């Protein structure tokens, strides 16, 4: 109720209340069971009712546009998750087929076989084809990782535009309510996309190590076939190196920076409206003079500690990435030579962005 008048939503609440009373007085157990057995559906319906409708102002139209973009990105994220699960399933199938092919070759060599046995030569060719399929799986996952990173960049852009729109004049209360909803949803997307990027990068790293190890083993198997006996390294895959964060310090959650690696520029967002443009532009142009084809790594940096404050710093830093990339492009760096990511730092006390020249 506002100023003694019922708000526009009051009739909806009364209808919902009367419906609830009718439902609880119903004696049909199946209806009650259906309601209590789907809490997620109930929460989803409640969330849909909570959506603020756009007003007829220009700000309201912009808020509705931003909501549509965030919704589209959420749909894209669900598709990416499904694609990742399908890719993982296919990778497991192809790896199993490759292992079966090499296991049959090893078995024949262990019991003895003529040198250069054509059957084993053909089997090695089959194993090679299977390993190529595994590598193809990895290529698809790499492409998915790039797609997810672009989604992260887009989420940051939506978040930045939403916050900018909140500062404009000419809005009504409903416009700000809708913009805050979009801001909350997009913050969640930033976190989800960062988490999915970590998962995909870990998958790519494992696949890279597996393929490298199996290439060596397959070469040893081919030598074994020509000799008619197993040679060292043919029966068992070499142990891969311990898994670390992808050298993709370009991932959305890269490992803490190496102490020997010094950033070109560090921007600390410890106050509103940090004027980093001129300094970053000058440093970037100077770097391009030294190395015209230089590549740039832009990392959102948050404190290494865990907690709500760190999560907020991580989101705030990710939000600033888009503006930093824009300055780099305006300074003359081609967009395809800029990679974005995120990392933690033991020295950071708040949201920061570090720019590296690679």
Question: Can you give the CATH number for the domain in which 337 is found?
Answer: 3.30.1330.60
State how far the Cα of 129 lies from the Cα of 156, in Å rounded to an integer.
41
Residue range of the domain that includes 101? 58-227
Q: In this structure, are 161 and 310 located in the same domain?
A: no
State how far the Cα of 287 lies from the Cα of 299, in Å rounded to an integer.
17
Q: In this structure, are 63 and 128 located in the same domain?
A: yes
Tokens of residue 5, six digits: 């008048």
Task: Give the DSSP letter string of 287-307.
Answer: HHHH-TT--EEEEEEEESS-S
Q: In this structure, are 65 and 197 located in the same domain?
A: yes
**pLDDT at residue 260, rounded to an integer:** 53
Mean pLDDT across 190-195: 85
Q: In this structure, are 94 and 186 located in the same domain?
A: yes
How many domains does one find in the chain? 3
**With contact defined as beta carbons under 8 Å apart, do 240 and 199 qualify?**
no
Q: In this structure, are 112 and 183 located in the same domain?
A: yes
Residue 52 has pLDDT above 70, yes or no: no
Query: Is 170 inside any structural domain?
Result: yes
Query: Is 241 inside any structural domain?
Result: no
Tokens of residue 62, six digits: 């912009």
Nearest by Cα to 141 from 200, 215, 221, 56: 200
Residue 215 has pLDDT above 60, yes or no: yes
Per-residue confidence band for 345, with pLDDT thresholds at 50, 70 and 90: confident
Query: Is 234 inside any structural domain?
Result: no
Q: In this structure, are 191 and 314 located in the same domain?
A: no
State how far the Cα of 349 lies from the Cα of 304, in Å rounded to an integer.
9
Name the most confidently modeled range: 38-47, 202-211, 300-309: 202-211
Q: In this structure, are 71 and 43 located in the same domain?
A: no
State how far the Cα of 106 lies from the Cα of 109, in Å rounded to an integer.
5
State how far the Cα of 142 lies from the Cα of 200, in Å rounded to an integer.
8
Query: Is 244 inside any structural domain?
Result: no
Residue 94 has pLDDT above 80, yes or no: yes
Residue bearing the bigger pLDDT, 239 or 210: 210
**pLDDT at residue 236, rounded to an integer:** 67
């Amino acid at each position: 109720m506002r100023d003694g008048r019922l708000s526009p939503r009051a009739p909806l609440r009364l209808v919902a209340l009367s419906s609830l009373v009718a439902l609880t007085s119903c004696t049909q157990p199946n209806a009650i069971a259906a309601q209590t057995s789907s809490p997620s559906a109930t929460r989803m319906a409640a969330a849909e009712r909570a959506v603020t409708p756009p007003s007829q102002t220009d700000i309201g139209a912009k808020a509705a546009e931003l909501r549509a973009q965030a919704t589209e990105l959420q749909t894209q994220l669900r598709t990416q998750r499904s694609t990742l699960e399908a890719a993982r399933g296919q990778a497991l199938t192809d790896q199993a087929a490759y292992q079966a092919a090499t296991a049959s070759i090893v078995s024949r060599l262990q019991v003895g076989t003529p040198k250069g046995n054509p059957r084993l030569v053909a089997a090695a060719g089959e194993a090679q084809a299977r390993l190529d399929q595994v590598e193809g799986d990895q290529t698809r996952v790499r492409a998915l990782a790039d797609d997810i990173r672009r989604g992260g960049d887009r989420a940051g852009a939506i978040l930045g535009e939403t916050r900018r729109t909140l500062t404009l004049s000419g809005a009504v209360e409903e416009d700000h309510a809708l913009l805050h909803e979009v801001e909350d949803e997009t913050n969640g997307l930033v976190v989800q996309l960062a988490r999915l990027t970590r998962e995909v990068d870990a998958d790519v790293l494992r696949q890279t190590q597996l393929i490298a190890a199996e290439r060596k083993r397959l070469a040893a198997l081919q030598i074994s076939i020509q000799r008619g006996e197993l040679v060292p390294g043919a029966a068992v895959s070499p142990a891969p190196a311990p898994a670390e964060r992808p050298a993709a310090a370009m991932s959305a959650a890269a490992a803490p920076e190496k102490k020997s690696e010094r950033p070109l520029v560090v921007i600390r967002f410890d106050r509103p409206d940090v004027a980093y443009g001129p300094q970053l532009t000058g440093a970037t142009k100077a770097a391009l003079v030294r190395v015209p084809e230089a590549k740039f790594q832009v990392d959102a940096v948050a404190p290494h500690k865990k907690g709500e404050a760190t999560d907020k710093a991580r989101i705030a830093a990710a939000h600033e990435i888009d503006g930093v990339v824009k300055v780099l492009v305006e300074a003359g760096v081609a967009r395809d030579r800029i990679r974005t990511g995120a990392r933690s730092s033991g020295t950071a006390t708040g949201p920061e962005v570090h720019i590296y020249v690679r």
